[in-house]
Amino acid sequence: MSVTKIEPEIGERRKPPKERMSLQEFLDWTEEDVWAEWENGEVIVMSPASYLHQDIEGFLQTLLRMFLEEQDMGVVLAAPFAMHLPISNRVREPDLLVVLKENFERIKETYLDGPADLVVEIVSEESIFRDRGTKFAEYEIDGVREYWVIDPERKQADFFVLGEGKRFERKLPDKKGFYHSAVLKGFRIKVEWLWQKPLPKVSDALRMAKRRRKQAR
């Protein structure tokens, strides 16, 4: 007689085994493909992302991946993939994180041991205070070099670059609406693309960046 394995409900799979966990216990638990963060022993399970959130995340991930591969510059990773912040004593799971080749040694099997070079957070109603407050401070303190905060509901995108004083400095798009990344040399993105329905084709967006680099020669 065959035995059918009954899968646990989604809520049960996302429930941490205990209220407080050590850092290593948390990292071991997140190997089971859960989306959660760790704050000095406390586990915070993240809510499922909306379609709009997933659509923008997928667009940015594909665009960044194509650019990074073409330039042989680094990799882009998407949640759930943990980022350990040793100074803040936190483990966060950004929507997207970019690691340049010179920092590949930070990439472990299930987490990044140290700050990413670029972090992207796509804001939801339940995450707005963390993304703009708590995480902003943590990413700054731990040395994330560039931080994007994308708010689809408000159609607002904010870009921050770590300055000489180890403080985030806000950077604005140019007069044509393009934001030029400080970390990803030669990469730019037009902010209004993020609010288009449907989103632009990634191949078209990538050609726009290529066109700027060609003109700059």
Whether domain 49-215 has CATH 3.40.50.300: no
Q: Is the distance from CB of 184 to CB of 72 less than 8 angstroms?
A: no
- How does pLDDT run along the chain (217 residues), one tens digit per residue? 333 333 333 344 456 666 677 777 777 766 656 667 667 667 776 666 678 989 999 999 999 999 999 999 999 999 889 999 999 999 899 999 999 999 999 999 989 999 999 999 999 877 677 778 899 999 999 999 999 999 999 999 999 999 988 999 999 999 999 999 999 999 999 999 999 999 999 999 999 976 554 444 4
Long-range contacts of 44-47 (CB under 8 A, 24+ apart): 45/14, 45/15, 45/16, 46/79, 46/93, 47/124, 47/126
Bridge pairing between strands 96-100 and 118-122 = antiparallel
Collapsing DSSP to helix, strand or coil, 178 comes out as strand
In sequence order, the 6+-apart residues with CB closer than 8 A to the CB of 92 are 37, 82, 83, 85, 135, 138
Q: How many CB atoms lie within 10 A of CB 165?
A: 7
Please name which of 188, 193, 191 lies closest in space to residue 156, comparing C-alpha atoms. 191
Residue with tokens 């483990």: 91
Collapsing DSSP to helix, strand or coil, 161 comes out as strand
- Whole-structure pTM value: 0.79
For residues 121 and 18, give the distance between their C-alpha atoms in angstroms, rounded to a whole number: 27
Domain map (residue ranges) of the chain: 49-215
